[in-house]
Homo-oligomer: A and B are copies of this chain.
């Protein structure tokens, strides 16, 4: 029961660096956090379907949450690189950054495949008994 729980493992040099292959470079928590909220999902899908720049008011008509909530979500998505904001007069237009977003997603997929033993053929980088 009260087994001597292994205290925090001593830091290794690799741990200090924290680098763990190409996946580290491509997996951006900020981006995926932006994509992880259902409300934001519907906003993105709305603008994507629209295929053009949409104003905050237009997007707000798509969903049931408060106007201010939509404004905040769109600003966050722009900060995360998912959307691009452009102000025209008093209207703020948001559009999806298709190219950049697709590149990020495919980049992560490529990085994962590079690690995959079956496909990448260079998997199993560590054979020291420990992981990383």
> Which of A's residues lie within 8 Å of B, judged by CB?
5-6, 8-9, 11-12, 15, 18, 20-21, 23-24, 27, 29, 32-33, 35-38, 41-42, 44-52, 54-55, 58-64, 66-67, 96, 98-99, 101-102, 105-106, 108-109, 111-113, 115-119, 122-126, 130-132
Contact = CB atoms under 8 A, between A and B. Distances in A.
**Nearest 7 Cβ contacts at the A-B interface:** A51-B123, A20-B45, A33-B36, A58-B131, A21-B49, A51-B124, A98-B116
Contact of A45 (B21, B36, B101): B21
Given A21-B49, A23-B48, A50-B124, 5 more contacts: A9-B60, A15-B64, A32-B32, A50-B126, A105-B105
Contacts of A29: 35-38, 41
B48 A131 contact: no
A99 B16 CA distance: 29
A49 B23 contact: yes
Given A126-B49, A131-B54, A42 B18 contact: yes
Nearest to A67: B6
B105 A49 contact: no
A24 B46 CA distance: 9
A71 B54 CA distance: 43
